[in-house]
Structure 1
Amino acid sequence: MNYYLRKLGFYLVALWAALTLNFLIPRLLPGNPVDILLAKLQQRGGTVTAETREAYALLLGGDSDSPLIVQYGQYLVNIFRGDLGVSVTYFPAPVTEVIGTSLPWTIALIGIATVLSFIIGVGLGAFVGWKPGTWLDSLVPATTLLAAVPYFWLALILVYFLSSSLGLFPSQGGYDVVLDPGWNMEFIGSAIYYGFLPALTIVIASLGGWLLGMRNMMVSTLSEDYVLTAQAKGLSNSRILRGYAARNAVLPSIAGFAISLGFVVSGSVVTEQVFSYPGIGSKLLSAVTNNDYALMQGLFLFITLAVLGANLVVDLFYGLIDPRTRARS
């Protein structure tokens, strides 16, 4: 119980630190964020008044003329009320609405691709590591080479061959624009069809890292005493592989998988940009380009919560599957 309480306490402190940094960073940037927001509004034909300036100052957590601690308190109150302000890039849409419309796309694409690359990579890595030195080992450098290729290069190559040359898949968008978004088979099928190339890019780029990491851990685990003891007992190879070697070798990969799941919310900015995919990554790029501080703060907050939440869940799960973790804490 003490192990779990310490973990919860640590992540609560980490959450408070992340919220504080999210509040301070825009205020440490050069220039006045409020003036930049008002300039963007004027460019879009909006009228700037004293009331408008005060309203935009509140978007960043409080009146810029008030003490910093007062702004910080107002910022925390707004956060817990779910009020993240109004996006300048997508004015007058609230930040929560902008994030809400793009978050499902990123979770569906990046989440599924990340899970698939983890399962395939770990599975192949366990199989290759079980028999090191075979012809299968010669395939490992090829997968790691693909992992070293930048996302946008790999995406452009897939677009050229599978979209432009062969015409098998669309090169841009998240669904057929003639369809109305909704929970029907036609729209879901279109979303899967349009998301295949972006997902394939992520799977290919991520597969090599999982495979190599699991392969190396398997080779190391096979020399452990408990594996040698299991072999001396005459247990079947499949049982030793699943119950002894792979079960322990996969533990470091689970920790890495937790971080990957947390960053699913942030999306793959480059991949989404290449494919013009309507996810969080493209929204984050737009927010940075347009100095949309309210949207940036909202996106960073969601990313932080996702990373901390994923790591907390895996830390708690880690304590269940590996009792040695609780004993050392």
Structure 2
Amino acid sequence: MKEFGKPEASLRWFWEPVEGSGLHDLIYTGYSTVTHAMIRAMCERWHMETSSFHLPVGEMTITLDNMHNLLHIPIHGRMLDHDEAMDQECAIDLMTRLLGMSDVDARVEIRTESAGHISYPTLKRVYEDHMIEARRLEDTQTREELQERSRRRQCNWEVVMGRDGLSVLVRLSGCSVILNNRTMAGSTILFMGWILEHLSGLYPRKKNKEWTPERPCAGRWLTSRGHIDVHHYRVLLDRLEVDVVRFFTYGDHREIRPFQLIVTYSGWLMCGKERVYRHLPEQTSVICHSGAYAFADHRIA
């Protein structure tokens, strides 16, 4: 999308499905250039035990609040809490409750697929049904129809990402590079957006003149080609000073994405019985010039 540009606003065949899906804001994220060397240098400082980057100025981590503002991804709702082996009734409950499928359609799918699984053609059909209905309700005014539109869009999030998609995205942001080879994976948009927002000077950036406050903060910056040598970024990280670290970057974005209490949650993000990612927002700290530790309070960000 960054390379080919976006269709004109008059081309409703493109924009209506995107707006109806609830995924519209993600169009305004993404980077034309992502340097493997810089991401590798950052991942070398990632510690799974504390879910944080260990830097000369202290510890920093990617939080739910970061994801909420950088990508406009919903961060509310329950995590998946099912057993590893699901029976048919549990699978039907998840399909109807999370994906918005009817009980009849869910039972048909269970008979077709093994318990706990759903086919991609069915997911595609469910997604399209929700999208069509959300588009139909786009200009609605009544409270009931607004709630139904919101429900349909939320169901599309569940179809595309899954209820555990948030925890998977956060986990991948901490391991976007497999250090034993040159393979990149995971949510590099989230990772890059976080770096550009919080560690100014680490990577070449410039203001995106097309960015507006109602769009995700990950689209605030444009990137240019960085250095290909990982040692270059290791040196920059070794010389990192507190003056170039931004712990509070979303104060001007709170009208668009209000603070949510859930971002103070400290503990494991789960997918069923699997511990996916240890979310520890209190790990974000900075060493003051006096040598004492000052903890970043996300509640006043």
TM-score by length of 2: 0.25
Whichever of the two has the greater Rg, that structure is 1
More helix by share: 1
- Identify the structure with bigger relative contact order (alpha carbons < 8 Å, sequence gap 6+): 2
TM-score by length of 1: 0.24
More strand by share: 2
